[in-house]
Amino acid sequence: MRHFDTGQPLSHGIRFILNCTAMALALDAGGIAHAGETFSVSSTTMRDGGHVNTAQVFNQSGCTGGNRSPQLTWRNAPAGTRSFAVTMFDPDAPGPGWWHWAVTDIPANVTTLAENASASGALKALGAVEARNDFNTDGYGGPCPPPGKPHRYVIKVYALGTDRLGLPQGRPAPMFDHEIAAAALGSAQMTVTYGR
């Protein structure tokens, strides 16, 4: 092997470093994006463009769902990701919209949340922190729009450049959203609908 500029042979040490670098680049980096791959989110409990299942619908205010947070899986997070956040927002609600869920401080090695991770304590076990939603409860609050036209629900997973945002449990979701946006390296989203 020869050096490109001088025509001189490379030392064994440099060859070793180049080989190790090539092998490291060839290995799968788990949830970290590779060239040409996009940060994405999917769910086994709902699909992008589809409808919200009864299990994810709120269980008060005239709605009779299971109020179980959706299963989510994400992949190809940007390089430098140190943690994740998840939000669920209804832009069709009157006024500034309606916050259904905001959670931060999900460790970078986590790429899946099980269904009902909010109420089951799974998020708390990970060290994640949940906001107070617009139903005035901490954690997930499922869709429950007024009767009429179906509403859209935007679920976003954010890759963050910090390990922890330092927000206390139960702060309002808009405060979480502000801090998440400031630390975000990228996001992946899916949109689902629900009406009654």
Q: Compute the average pLDDT of residues 171-195.
A: 97
What are the structure tokens assigned to 87, written together? 């939000």
Asked whether 62 and 195 are in contact (CB, 8 A), the reply is no
Q: Which among 42, 48, 10 has a CA at the least distance from the CA of 192?
A: 48
**What's the fold here for domain 31-194?**
Phosphatidylethanolamine-binding Protein (3.90.280)
What are the structure tokens assigned to 178, written together? 């502000």
Question: Which pTM was predicted?
Answer: 0.82
Please determine, for residue 145, whether its predicted confidence score (pLDDT) is greater than 50. Answer: yes
Q: Compute the average pLDDT of residues 61-79.
A: 97
Q: Where are the domains of the chain?
A: 1-29, 31-194
* pLDDT confidence bin for 37, thresholds 50/70/90: confident
Helices (H), 54-131: 117-120, 122-126
* pLDDT confidence bin for 118, thresholds 50/70/90: very high
131 against 34, higher pLDDT: 131
DSSP code of residue 69: P
Please determine, for residue 4, whether its predicted confidence score (pLDDT) is greater than 50. Answer: no
Mean pLDDT across the chain: 87
Please classify residue 96 by burial: count the beta carbons closer than 10 Å to its beta carbon, then call 0-12 exposed, 13-18 middle and 19+ buried. exposed
Percent of residues, the chain, with pLDDT higher than 70: 82
